[in-house]
């Protein structure tokens, strides 16, 4: 039984919505920092398609997570790359799905270990609710209601198009 469902046309549509919101209000030189993996693809796409001079960085929040004892270290840890000075910068953290808020908390902590930004905003493709921390997104592609036992994640198809995958949470 394949319990995986894809919502591919939707992802592109949410992206357009997200992009339009951001185009209207982010700083001309705002830095886009994508959270691996989905957020990184989004950050790359946004840099291509948004006007302005947006440098891009990537964050892997594995080293800043608070669930090591229960979830273990992720099998693949990517290198965080912040190729610009964070000090005084306007930064937009970009992620695919906003859920508990813990990843974003970890991403903010990571950024602060690189410097002191002037401001941090948050852009997400999907806000699925279920927050466990007082975190809210500034730009949202779409707000969705997703059952708690279902994982929602962004994937990149071979043709470069973005696809949302929903499936049961993987067991450890």
Partner 1 sequence: MLSKKNLQLNERGELHHLLAIEGLPRKILERILDTAESFVGVNEREVKVVPLLRGKSIFNVFFENSTRTRTTFEIAAKRLSADVVSLDVARSSTSKGESILDTIANLSAMHADMFVVRHAASGAPYLIAQNVAPHVHVINAGDGRHEHPTQGLLDVFTIRRYKKDFSNLTVAIVGDILHSRVARSQIHALTTLGVPELRVIGPQTLLPTEIERLGVRVFTSLEAGLKGVDVVTMLRLQNERMTGALLPSASEYFSRYGLTPQKLALAKPDAIVLHPGPMNRGVEIDSAVADGKQSVILPQVTYGIAVRMAVMAILAGATR
Is the CB of 68 or the CB of 118 nearer to partner 1? 68
**Does residue 164 contact residue 152 with C-beta atoms inside 8 Å?**
yes
Q: Both tokens of residue 48?
A: 């291509």
Give the shortest CB-79-to-partner 1 separation in angstroms: 5
* Contact residues: partner 1, CB under 8 A: 60, 62-65, 68-73, 75-81, 109, 113-115, 172
Q: Both tokens of residue 163?
A: 């696809």
Give the shortest CB-89-to-partner 1 separation in angstroms: 15
Is the CB of 11 or the CB of 93 nearer to partner 1? 93
CA–CA distance, 111 with 57 (Å, rounded to integer)? 10
Give the shortest CB-111-to-partner 1 separation in angstroms: 11
Is the CB of 77 or the CB of 143 nearer to partner 1? 77
Sheet of 5-6, strands arranged across: 5-6, 162-168, 150-156
């Amino acid at each position: 039984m394949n319990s995986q469902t894809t919502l591919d046309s939707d992802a592109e549509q949410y992206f357009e919505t997200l992009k339009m919101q951001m185009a209207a209000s982010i700083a001309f030189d705002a830095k886009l920092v994508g959270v691996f993996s989905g957020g990184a693809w989004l950050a790359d796409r946004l840099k291509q398609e948004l006007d302005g001079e947006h440098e891009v960085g990537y964050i892997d929040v594995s080293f800043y997570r608070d669930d090591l004892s229960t979830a273990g270290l992720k099998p693949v840890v990517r290198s965080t790359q912040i190729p610009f000075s964070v000090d005084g910068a306007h930064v937009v953290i970009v992620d695919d799905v906003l859920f508990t808020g813990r990843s974003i908390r970890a991403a903010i902590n990571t950024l602060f270990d690189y410097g002191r930004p002037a401001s941090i905003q948050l852009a997400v493709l999907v806000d699925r609710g279920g927050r466990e921390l007082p975190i809210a997104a500034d730009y949202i592609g779409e707000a969705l209601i997703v059952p708690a036992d279902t994982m929602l994640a962004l994937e990149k198809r071979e043709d470069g198009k973005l696809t949302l995958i929903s499936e049961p949470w993987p067991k450890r």
